[in-house]
Amino acid sequence: MINVLIVDDEPFIRQGLKILIDWEEYGFKITGEATNGKEAISLLEDNNYDLIITDIKMPEVDGIELVEHIRNYKSKDLKIIILSGYYEFEYAKQAIRYNVVDYILKPIQKEELIRVLLEFKEAYNKEIKSAKDKKYTEQIALERHLNALCSGIYGQSDISYVEDKLPYCTNLRYMSIEISLNDEKFERLSKDERRKALKEFCETLKCYIAPYEKYAFLDVDKRNEIYGIGFIYTRNFSAQKKMSEKEYIVDLQEYMKSNQKYKFNVYIGQKVNRIDQISESFKSAIIAKSFQNYKNDKAIAYYDETSAVKSNTYGVKKEYMDELIHYTEENVVDKIDECVEKIYLNFQVHNINPKIININIDYLLCRFIYLAKELDPDVDQEEVLHYISQCAFEESAVRGSAKHFKAFVKDFANYLAQLRQTNSHGVLKEVEREIEMHYMQNLSLKSLSEKYYINSAYLGQIFKKNHGISFKDYLNNYRIEKAGELLIRTNDKVCNIAQIVGYNNLDYFINKFVRLKGKTPLQYRKQFLKKTKEDC
């Protein structure tokens, strides 16, 4: 509803306006009344209105003085419609220089009022939509630059952009606030439902940190199974609430607990002085999570506390690691479970430092790559490394749970078995055909690997080797290209096109479209139509 303030010193005019039409039928709601400009100014201090309809001649502060005050002290953009008697028309024209939307002559006619309101509503809705599109595009751009800074792969343009958009860029910490995958309610949700839940989760955080919502952003590490928020904390936030840093974080945690329904954990990186150092804080937040999950401890983990741990400098017993490698090579599932349990128990009993854990992980990493190369000397070592880092080690450092690590090792054992026996060429052709025929459906590497009896990791590797991009990116690109064709060839709504090409979540579709095409779907369509007219 569009909120309206009516300002007129004559009660029968105000009452007549209210009953002349069904305001709500046309999308308007009268939420305030004032008898003169002075009362209106007072109401504007405590209330938000989208439209003011004001008389010209009133006692104390008249309509022209009210409009002048609003433009000078309140808002350059607040929409105003003038009520004017026939003999006041010349007087009313003075208001034009203050950018009023329209004027209505008294006595007010129903048809004229409806016409003016509908014209206003159309222009207002276009303006709101344009502002939303602009805000969304700017948010996507900001997230892209923030992700570059967090990853540590950035240029001066990334730093400049972020410093221009964020008011505070010193005394920072990166925080990862993640919904727990052990939450039963969350586990039962579909992927689309999880994305929606994460968006609501993020909105809850943004409510707490308002007006600094830009410091929170979704899924900074881009791993599909991590449902979390990146939050760049600055000391100014706690100072403004007159809290210490720890008090602020506990207060944030309590607010999130009270205002959303899922369990979550907070992982807090080391303090850095400047925004171009945020990748150091980001990496240390990952280490904090790694250590926290191995310890099965409280829901807030500070890197500072982790790095202060005085732990034994030795790692997991080498025979445990070699035993795991042996059973992975032989694809003995039960023994893999036993070995992982033994290794994780070792982490906990000996309070092993995350840096030492990483050394053990590096050892496993090298041995697994060697196993793959032994089976196929032509295997893309970089791709194997990418697969391992995506599915296990970096992800394990982020998740850290024995459950996920077991799943990875068993999947990798199956991958090695696949390397021994699979001829991939025919399968690739079938997968490409599946995408062309069924791209609008819920396709995944897992479902296709089950259909064609091939390990999903191996299928992902050979697909990327053949096409130069991952299966997921290939599918997204194909869908977006099809969406682009539909935007040009049809007049379908964007929400319908998103559904047609396989996206149930409209925001997710627009996000992908902007990333690939550099503009929103509507901007893409308008640009094509404009070019077509110019060519004609």
Q: What is the pLDDT of residues 15-71, one digit of tens each?
A: 999 999 999 999 999 999 999 999 999 999 889 899 999 988 888 888 888 988 888
Three-class HEC string of 28-74: EEEEEEECCHHHHHHHHHHCCCCEEEEECCCCCCCHHHHHHHHHHHH
How far from the centroid of its chain's Cα atoms is residue 354's Cα? 29
Q: Is 300 helix (H, G, I), strand (E, B) or coil?
A: strand
pLDDT-wise least confident of 15-29, 293-307, 462-476: 293-307
Q: What's the mean pLDDT in 79-91?
A: 74
Q: How confident is the model at residue 173 (pLDDT cuts 50, 70, 90)?
A: very high
Is pTM, for the whole model, over 0.75? Answer: no
d(CA 491, CA 308): 61
pLDDT at 252 over 90: yes
| Average predicted confidence (pLDDT) for the chain | 83
d(CA 431, CA 424): 11
Instruction: Say what the pLDDT of residue 394 is.
Output: 43
Q: Which residue intervals of 106-218 are DSSP H helices?
A: 110-151, 156-165, 184-187, 191-209
Residue carrying the six token digits 């998103």 = 498
Instruction: Say what the pLDDT of residue 147 is.
Output: 86
Q: How confident is the model at residue 110 (pLDDT cuts 50, 70, 90)?
A: very high
Closest by CA position to 287, among listed 310, 305, 261, 262 = 305
Q: Please check whether residue 352 is in contact with residue 330, taking contact to mean a CB–CB distance below 8 angstroms.
A: no
d(CA 138, CA 489): 28
Q: Please check whether residue 110 is in contact with residue 21, taking contact to mean a CB–CB distance below 8 angstroms.
A: yes
Instruction: Say what the pLDDT of residue 384 is.
Output: 62
Q: Is 520 helix (H, G, I), strand (E, B) or coil?
A: coil
CA distances from 399 to 279, 287, 391, 404, 409 (A): 19, 10, 11, 8, 15
How far from the centroid of its chain's Cα atoms is residue 403's Cα? 27
- Tokens matching residue 535: 């060519």
pLDDT at 388 over 60: no
Instruction: Say what the pLDDT of residue 398 is.
Output: 38
Instruction: Say what the pLDDT of residue 363 is.
Output: 77
Q: Please check whether residue 17 is in contact with residue 23, taking contact to mean a CB–CB distance below 8 angstroms.
A: no
